[in-house]
Structure 1
């Protein structure tokens, strides 16, 4: 499992993010970029955190974090509605670094070196007989 997991959803014009540092590590619930609840990640089982969505009146928000064998499942409950929060990557994925093929002269030079080494090796083997 990755050392840090992040879950995010936009709810009624508010950004809700849950960041989990590691198994049995700190958990933060952020609403619109501000930390509104803290807790510990479950080693096994579930953790429930309570917060509020800003507004007039403020609405209660429940976050349930479950450890599913090294992978976290995060649910958000607003009112009586439950939402599964999608996991989002912390850093954008980079495309694979493709190696450029060697220059044709380098390839030719390498193959000539191998051929010379083989020929010399055979010559030395014949002398030893």
Structure 2
């Protein structure tokens, strides 16, 4: 099982994301990329996070995280707004290499390219 889960939905023009670190880890609720609610650990009972969408007037909503029986996978994540519940889909975590290289990776790639350039230059002589 993955060490972290990420749930995401677009709701009324706003991005709502829930990130769970590990099976019983910390839970972050993000609206439009900003953390608006946080819970230290998930626990065995249904976790409830309350927040608001930044509209005029602000629209309250609630996130419900219900652990799956027997610990067999990610929790169920529901968004409750205006007496309606929406199931938030589990989205894949992006790999660090998709966004940016670390300094060690960049140096390794540069050294490899310099070696290849030297080999090509030596062949041309």
Asked if TM exceeds 0.5, the reply is yes
Distance 2:48 2:30 in 1: 15
**1:86 has 2:84 as partner:** no
Match of residue 71, structure 1, among 69, 74, 84 = 74
Q: CA deviation at 1:72?
A: 1.0
CA distance in 2, matches of 1:28, 1:42: 10
In structure 2, the residue corresponding to 1:24 is in which secondary structure? coil
Listed as ranges, the matches of 1:90-129 within 5 Å are 90-91=93-94
Q: What does residue 40 of structure 2 align with? A: 40
CA RMSD of aligned residues (A): 1.3
Distance between the aligned counterparts of 1:81 and 1:40, measured in 2? 27
Q: Secondary structure at the match of 2:46?
A: strand
Q: Which structure 2 residue ranges, 5 or more long, are not aligned?
A: 96-125
Matched, 1:21 2:21: yes
Following TM superposition, by how much is the alpha carbon of 1:23 offset from its aligned partner in structure 2, in angstroms?
2.1
Which 4+ runs in 1 deviate beyond 3 A? none
Q: Which has the larger radius of gyration?
A: 1
Aligned-pair distance for 1:89?
A: 0.1
Q: TM-score normalised to the size of structure 2?
A: 0.69
Please say if 1:50 is aligned against 2:50.
Answer: yes
Gaps (5+ residues) in structure 1? Answer: 93-129
TM, length-normalised to structure 1: 0.67
